[in-house]
Amino acid sequence: MGTLVIRTWYEPDQVPSFRARVTYSQDADDDPATVVAANPEEALSVVRQWLFTQYGSPDEA
């Protein structure tokens, strides 16, 4: 079973101000990986890829 955690915040002095840190592992025994994103689409892309790796593409169902 994998784990994924998303932390989001805003940095008002930056453009864009959105920030996210996505920390994930594919398996409980794996060391976690971390990706930092500057827009929601980047964060969602990481989440989608993680889900596809865990459960397969929705097209495969």
> In this predicted model, what pLDDT tens digit does every residue of 29-55 receive, in sequence order?
889 999 999 999 999 999 999 999 888
The full 3-state SS of the chain, as one line of letters, equals: CCEEEEEEEECCCCCCCEEEEEEEECCCCCCCEEEEECCHHHHHHHHHHHHHHHHCCHHHC
> In this predicted model, what pLDDT tens digit does every residue of 8-34 receive, in sequence order?
999 999 999 999 999 999 887 889 999
**What integer pLDDT is reported at residue 34 of this predicted model?**
96
- Domain locations in the chain as residue ranges: 3-60
Q: What is the mean pLDDT of residues 2-6?
A: 93
Which pTM was predicted? 0.80
**What integer pLDDT is reported at residue 9 of this predicted model?**
97
